[in-house]
Chains A and B, each alone.
Chain A
Amino acid sequence: MTMQSISRRDFLRTSGLVAGSAALAACAAPGPAPAASEGNDTMAAEPQTISWWYAWGNLDPAVESISQLESFKAHIGENTTLDYRGSTNNEAVLTALAAGDPPDGGSNMDYPGLWSRGVCLPVNDMVDSSEIIDPNEVVDAVWQGGFYGADLIGVPSIESFLWYGLNYNAQHVEEAGLDPDDPPLTWEGVMEWHKELSQFDDGGNVLRIGLDPIDAMAGEPDFIATSYGHTWWNDEEQTFHLDHELMAQGIETQAEFFRFIGPDNFAGLRSVEGQGTWGAAFNAEVQSMIIEGYWHAGETTIQKPEVAVHNRATWAPVPAFREGAKIMATGPHMVQIYRDGKNPDGIFKVAEFLHTEEPLNIIFHEVGWIMGIQSWLPTIDADTFPGLRFYIDNIEEVTDWIVGRRSPIHWFVNTQLWDLREQVYRDLITPQEAVTELQKRAEDEWEAQGL
């Protein structure tokens, strides 16, 4: 037997060759599929996945329940699975879109922004050929809110109902010696409640605020404009007018709420874990009033039932000179179908199924959301969640309607409004200067986006 020594160089060369061959083999195109996978029967059984990303963090349990329904499985195909991912932020979706590997569909994203950048498919034809989706069944403003020009930019679904209301904690109101049956309807009245409901310690530190005037829906430009009777975004002409006296008045009103509490106090309260996100301060009972939509009733009941039992709702405030105006917004959430997604038909089937009764009921009971489908709406028990009845019973009384979040630069304007409003309530600029600057920034952005 001969002992053969291997030099270090030989060893390295051999390992290099082996590693290189392995890498080449790994990179090589897959060989032909096994014969057993051929044939129609087996092809039909090939598993498929539908991927759906959405930004909400509280929808997952409902989607899980829906995905277990036999009717859902039958609708999307027995060998198809729904790969859903909640709490997916914009950055994740953008990265996937930019990489050319997006999910099949997305929801609660910047719908007009993504559409205007050409990454979504128009769904008109899919909807036209659907036997489930009936556009006439969907509340008209919700359905029309899905259109940009002649294109339907996503399938309105999941939840789409009424957006504005002043929701308040009746227990706090009573404790403050106010009448919960006579809520304020103007900003002036809400300010009085704000002063009565806010609580401070001996050092002047805030313990509870009456109203955070920019929490939830109140922070958006659509809301303060509508409250003051101004329309900043002209959908037909695709123009905007932010540099307006009524916008300035609205910002000044909101600033007054901050000044009463103290800007540092406000910032401190919002920076506490569990109090700074959308609506969280109300649930944590450090805020007594909040301006947001019908979902507040259901979400609070599901997330914080002991707080929800005290919840009531009324009209969102307007200035005294508009007393009597009853403002309301609506607009669709959608399932947008991404152009580069692998399974557009699959995600459309998901959107389609969301228009049927079973998922509508599941989403209503497990998340607290309502989709504006006319034949289903009467089946809702308006007393399921405290405060919900206001929204169900008063639709007919609305005097000022708006379909919200229509502008492609809506979210940009929103962030800039937050920035400038803070400068106003810290008395660094005047409200008029703020809206002038807001207009300028919006114009720059419009140009920068090549719109």
Chain B
Amino acid sequence: MAASTEKVSRYTPQEWRNLRLGLLFVSPWALGFLLFTIYPLLSSLYYSLTRYDLLRPPVFLGAKNYLTLFFDDPHFWNVMYNTLFYVGLSVPFGVGAAFIIANMLNSRIVARSFFRSVIYVPSIVPAVASAMVWQFLMNVQYGAVNGVLRYFGLPIIPFLSNPGWAKPSLILVAIWAQGAAVVIFLAALQDVPRSLYEAATVDGANLWHRFRNVTIPLTSPIILFNLIMGLIVAFQEFTVPWLLTEGGPMNSTEFYLIHLYRNAFEYLRMGKASALAWILFLIIVVFSLIIFKSSARWVYYGGEK
């Protein structure tokens, strides 16, 4: 007791006042965090262990929802395949495209500001609007792309209505919408010291060598950042696939969040949907950890470990 009193008495009355005021001023955020983040988080963990349809009290089931998903859900593994296919291609290609575009926009080209704006536009256009535009472009009957193909007597491409084409088409849309990543890369590229390029040139490095040995290492922390963010966003992709294909044709674009949404709101399986959410959380954590672990080999922090 004595020790504890002694510990408490380390605070002066002024420090206590400061502490109280500090807590008072952070309380709006803290309350919001507890109510709107921590509480739903823990609730969903609990609900994932129950049968819950929103309208009746939850019934505790233990791990049944998780077991059902892994061993008895006719769609789960197909959904996993679809999602991993989408993430596996859209993220690296998206980040790669963004990096290349940023490099091009960082060079001295005509109308550079105009192109920078154009590239960023997809990021500020609402997803619904851009989905409608892609719908008009890729529709098998009235789409502009197929209109051109048809005009030249070429076979049309069923972008969104064929199970084999639907996923690549959505990946194309994802790659197109990389404006935010481009802007972040541009900022990083402008931070690369000119002296390094000059030194490399003096040493006889050509364009590729400078890109490979100066640009990439010095922007690798940003590549890591965009990779992680892209991964998180791609695993949670919902709006564009839902608007363009609603998970079809033949469930070929039934991505993880669409499946989660169906379970939650079409089938009223909130318990199962919560379990899906937690599995997704773990998947994203695992992938992020793998990338972080591997980053020690390829991310350069200016000599720091």
**A12 & B139 in contact (Cβ 8 Å cutoff):** no
**B74 & A449 in contact (Cβ 8 Å cutoff):** no
Q: B268: which of A94, A271, A423, A426 is its contact (CB, 8 Å)?
A: A94
**A117 & B56 in contact (Cβ 8 Å cutoff):** yes
Interface string of A416-451 (1 = CB under 8 A from B): 000100110010100000000100010011001110
From B111-119, B160-168, B184-192, B201-209, give the one contacting chain A.
B160-168
**A117 & B265 in contact (Cβ 8 Å cutoff):** no
Interface residues of B in 134-173 (CB under 8 A from A): 135, 139-142, 150, 155-156, 158, 160-163
From known contacts A265-B161, A271-B161, infer whether A94 and B139 are also in contact, taking CB-CB under 8 Å: no
Residue of B whose beta carbon sits closest to that of A268:
B140
Chain B positions within 8 Å of A6 at CB level: none
Min CB distance A213 to B, Å, is: 16
Interface residues of B in 252-276 (CB under 8 A from A): 265-269, 272
- Which secondary structure characterizes the binding site on chain A? helix
**B141 & A264 in contact (Cβ 8 Å cutoff):** no
From B47-55, B89-97, B220-228, give the one contacting chain A.
B47-55
**B139 & A268 in contact (Cβ 8 Å cutoff):** yes
Residue of A whose beta carbon sits closest to that of B247:
A419
Interface string of A108-146 (1 = CB under 8 A from B): 000001100111000000000000000000000000000
Interface residue B72 (Cβ < 8 Å from any Cβ of A) = yes
Q: What's the Cα separation between A289 and B72 when bound, in Å? A: 39
From known contacts A94-B54, A94-B265, A203-B156, infer whether A267 and B25 are also in contact, taking CB-CB under 8 Å: no
Chain A positions within 8 Å of B56 at CB level: 117-118, 450
* A/B pair count, beta carbons within 8 Å: 98
Min CB distance B266 to A, Å, is: 7
**A422 & B156 in contact (Cβ 8 Å cutoff):** no
Q: B161: which of A267, A415, A441 is its contact (CB, 8 Å)?
A: A267
Interface residues of A in 16-36 (CB under 8 A from B): 16, 20
Interface residue B123 (Cβ < 8 Å from any Cβ of A) = no
**A268 & B54 in contact (Cβ 8 Å cutoff):** no
Residue of B whose beta carbon sits closest to that of A339:
B55
**B72 & A444 in contact (Cβ 8 Å cutoff):** yes
Q: What's the Cα separation between A61 and B141 when bound, in Å? A: 34
**A98 & B54 in contact (Cβ 8 Å cutoff):** yes
Q: A12: which of B21, B155, B244, B269 is its contact (CB, 8 Å)?
A: B21
Residue tally, chain B, CB below 8 Å to A = 37
**A205 & B140 in contact (Cβ 8 Å cutoff):** yes
Chain A positions within 8 Å of B248 at CB level: 267, 422
**B55 & A94 in contact (Cβ 8 Å cutoff):** yes
Min CB distance A109 to B, Å, is: 12
Interface residue B249 (Cβ < 8 Å from any Cβ of A) = yes
Residue of B whose beta carbon sits closest to that of A425:
B250
Interface residue B251 (Cβ < 8 Å from any Cβ of A) = yes
**B251 & A97 in contact (Cβ 8 Å cutoff):** no
Q: B250: which of A268, A423, A449 is its contact (CB, 8 Å)?
A: A423
From known contacts A91-B265, A94-B54, A426-B250, infer whether A16 and B24 are also in contact, taking CB-CB under 8 Å: yes
Q: What's the Cα separation between A441 and B75 when bound, in Å? A: 11
Chain A positions within 8 Å of B155 at CB level: 203
Residue of B whose beta carbon sits closest to that of A416:
B74
Chain A positions within 8 Å of B289 at CB level: none
**B51 & A265 in contact (Cβ 8 Å cutoff):** no
From known contacts A98-B55, A203-B155, infer whether A419 and B251 are also in contact, taking CB-CB under 8 Å: yes
Residue of A whose beta carbon sits closest to that of B149:
A203
Interface residue A269 (Cβ < 8 Å from any Cβ of B) = yes
Chain B positions within 8 Å of A412 at CB level: 267
Residue of B whose beta carbon sits closest to that of A286:
B141
**A264 & B158 in contact (Cβ 8 Å cutoff):** yes
Q: What's the Cα separation between A12 and B161 when bound, in Å? A: 61
Min CB distance B288 to A, Å, is: 31
Chain B positions within 8 Å of A273 at CB level: 132, 135
Min CB distance A364 to B, Å, is: 33
Chain B positions within 8 Å of A426 at CB level: 163, 250
Interface residue A206 (Cβ < 8 Å from any Cβ of B) = yes
Interface residue A272 (Cβ < 8 Å from any Cβ of B) = yes
**B250 & A422 in contact (Cβ 8 Å cutoff):** yes
Interface residue B30 (Cβ < 8 Å from any Cβ of A) = no
Chain A positions within 8 Å of B158 at CB level: 264, 267-268
Residue of A whose beta carbon sits closest to that of B248:
A267
Interface residue B59 (Cβ < 8 Å from any Cβ of A) = yes
Residue picked from A9, A271, A412, A437, most chain B C-beta under 10 Å: A271
From known contacts A97-B55, A271-B161, A437-B74, infer whether A264 and B249 are also in contact, taking CB-CB under 8 Å: yes
Chain B positions within 8 Å of A114 at CB level: 55
From known contacts A90-B265, A268-B139, A272-B142, infer whether A205 and B156 are also in contact, taking CB-CB under 8 Å: yes
**A97 & B54 in contact (Cβ 8 Å cutoff):** yes
Interface residue A263 (Cβ < 8 Å from any Cβ of B) = yes
Q: A445: which of B54, B251, B267 is its contact (CB, 8 Å)?
A: B267
Residue of A whose beta carbon sits closest to that of B153:
A203
**A264 & B162 in contact (Cβ 8 Å cutoff):** yes
Chain B positions within 8 Å of A16 at CB level: 21, 24-25
Min CB distance A14 to B, Å, is: 12
Chain A positions within 8 Å of B150 at CB level: 201, 203, 205
Q: Could you name 6 residue pairs across A and B whose Cβ atoms are closer than 8 Å?
A: A90-B265, A203-B150, A267-B162, A268-B160, A273-B135, A448-B272
New A-B contacts (16) at CB < 8 Å, excluding given A13-B21, A203-B156, A268-B160: A16-B25, A90-B266, A94-B268, A98-B55, A205-B150, A263-B161, A264-B158, A267-B162, A267-B249, A273-B132, A419-B251, A423-B250, A426-B250, A448-B269, A449-B53, A450-B59
7 A-B pairs closest in CB distance: A268-B140, A267-B161, A268-B161, A98-B54, A117-B55, A264-B158, A264-B161
